Amino acid sequence: MSTYQTLLYYCYSPIENAEQFAADHLDFCRSLNLVGRIIVADEGLNGTVSGTVEACKAYMEAVHADTRFTKTEFKIDNVDELSFIKMHCRYKPEIVHSGLRDPKLIDPNKQTGIHLEPKEFMEMIDSDDVVVLDVRSNYEHSVGKFKNAVTLDIENFREFPEKVKELEQYKNKKILTYCTGGIKCEKASALLIKEGFEDVYQLHGGIIKYGKEAGGKDFEGKCYVFDNRVTVDVNTVNPVVISTCKNCGKVTPKMINCANALCNEHFTQCDECGWEMEGCCSDACKQQPDKREYDGTGYYVKIPQPVNYDKISKRKHKNFPPKISTTI
């Protein structure tokens, strides 16, 4: 059995005094020796954390013990080493940046596409009246996507609302949206319904859950994840590699960040070009004198930003998490 686990989760649930909650939650995660990245907003939580099996168990129990987050679903991966180096928990306007902040217009707690369990999704994707829609960014679907999926040319999910007009041709079809863990689909499917799409669905739990419960059938390539694993395998039924090295064109599943921090482009690069280019996407980036040292992984730890306590509300807030008797 693996020593560590990595948890992927989100929950749309209003949080009062969310800035203070973020600071308190960071302290709690550190008390469990967890590492990871959590976004806290007035609308809820979005996180990936990694730690010992015992620490992850204690964390899940604490989240579920809070009545605001009892419905949170955790996708659990057993891993041989921690998936992060540091622990970050920050307050932001949204738990996934979409630009759709007005709950009067888009509220995942009130209306979204019909949730399909992985096996239901698998049974529908080959139907003639279905369009499978990837709502992720270019660098994500370039390394892996569902067979015949419609992809959008977007660098960030906040561009998705501008692309909806390009989907008008599919209004008479069933739209099946998917993303990594399900969080983007909550707002993407809600927006599609608001824009007049009548038959909208979403893959419950995203690609990660689909891999665990349906074997990942017909997901081509790897799934991009937002930790130092960078990508993970999904398909154990009919796997293929679809991505190619940006520099030489060789088929490769390896995705990295450009060693030039001023560029930091996500791109696929084979090992040979990685060492030759020193982890850079171009000769111009390779010549950058302050580029980061390439160690073969192409993953670089961000410098943590301090919590701005001056911005934190002074109002009383509910204690979270509850005290836990589990000894870590």
CATH of the domain at 131: 3.40.250.10
Cβ neighbours for 32, distance < 8 A, ≥ 6 positions apart = 51, 55, 58, 59, 328
Question: Residue 316 has what pLDDT?
Answer: 37
State whether 71 and 162 are in the same domain. no
| Residue 68 belongs to a domain | yes
- Residue 125: name the closest of 31, 34, 219, 244 by CA: 219
State whether 121 and 23 are in the same domain. no
| Residue 23 belongs to a domain | yes
Question: Residue 313 has what pLDDT?
Answer: 41
Question: Residue 99 has what pLDDT?
Answer: 79
> 37, 66, 95 — which closes off a domain?
95
Cβ neighbours for 69, distance < 8 A, ≥ 6 positions apart = 11, 13, 45, 63
| Residue 53 belongs to a domain | yes
Angle (nearest 5°) at CA 178 between 256 and 19:
75
Say how many residues make up the chain: 328
| Residue 237 belongs to a domain | no
Give the pLDDT means over successive 10-residue stretches in the chain (328 positions).
92 96 98 98 97 98 98 96 96 90 78 97 96 97 97 95 95 97 96 96 98 98 92 96 97 94 94 97 96 91 48 41 39
Question: Residue 324 has what pLDDT?
Answer: 39
Question: Residue 103 has what pLDDT?
Answer: 66
Cα 138 from chain centroid?
14
> 44, 62, 95 — which closes off a domain?
95
| Residue 228 belongs to a domain | no
> 95, 125, 145 — which closes off a domain?
95
| Residue 55 belongs to a domain | yes
State whether 33 and 81 are in the same domain. yes
Q: Which residues are catalytic?
A: 179
Asked if residues 15 and 42 have their Cβ atoms less than 8 Å apart, the reply is yes
> Containing domain of residue 87, as a range?
4-95
